[in-house]
Structure 1
Amino acid sequence: MAGFGFRRGGKSAIDEPLSAEQVWSRLLAWQTRREHTQHELKAKLSQLGVTSELAEQSLAKLVDYGLQDDDRCAEGIVRGQLQRGRGRRAIAQRLQQKGLAAEHPALDEQTENLDWVKEAATLLQRRFGDTPIDDLKAQAKRVRFLQYRGFSLTQAIEAMKSLKSN
């Protein structure tokens, strides 16, 4: 394939250092596909063998043009994780994986008025429907499911109680 990112002649990307223009092109291509954090972009550039000085210069240019913003990226991550039914712990972990602070202000801003127990109950309803949760095995399954999704034990138990009372 002679498309973007593939080289002919069997040479790897590390054999020939990328020029500043090539680095800039890669950064633009990555950012147009989806929003990346600076941490992610630095990692991608280092895998290509780009010097840290050239990477810093190119990333600074990207930020100066307003094409990369870690805060904007964090807002998108939090929004996406909330839409997927993730709890606070899972969202914080995802932010850390992307090289951002686990307690990023975007997390607090978007979850300020959020009732985590209600979110957990909605997720349980969506996943398990109206199946009864009378036996301990079914309760444990639901608690594990919610904890896997990033909800606390307390939130999981309260969500199950709220479904039983309805």
Structure 2
Amino acid sequence: MSKAIEHVQLTAGFDAWHAQWHHAAVYVGNNLICEAQLWGVRIASVFKYAAGTHLIRFRRDTALDDLGSCKVALEAALKLRYGYDWRSVVQLLTQAKWGWRGGSGRPRQLSERATLCSQLYADAYGVVTASTLDSRAEAGVTPAHLSVNKTLSDLPMAWLSLDPSH
């Protein structure tokens, strides 16, 4: 699935560096993330991605204060048990195959029961800030949209590394 997402993002015109990001999650505290996976929106440990097989990047709107950040996490957590938005997957695949359209002026409608990984963050952010991260993303915000977005900044993380040779 990750290679398919990367391909869709490359076809959509994102450069390889932004297209390499194929998943997004919302940090909710205590080393936990809220994420939309194929089986729906769930809470998981951030450490499931720390085994060295995933690229990890932390981004946020640094203009948000602690309360705003907590509200984004809460909005994402309110989507627990939502399903995975397969309709948006089909729309993204269609747009990638036959052309990535700019915005038609219609806002993307929030689903009442399903979402995608990066859309989970984008929707929660939109509810809290009353703004959109990418108004051109009719079928949904992809991880590449979040990567290229100038509103979001990378957060430096101090990870420990284990050297298996010692």
Q: TM-score, normalised by structure 1?
A: 0.19
| Structure 1 or 2: more strand by fraction | 2
| Structure 1 or 2: more helix by fraction | 1
| Greater gyration radius | 1
Higher relative contact order (CA closer than 8 Å, sequence separation 6+)? 2
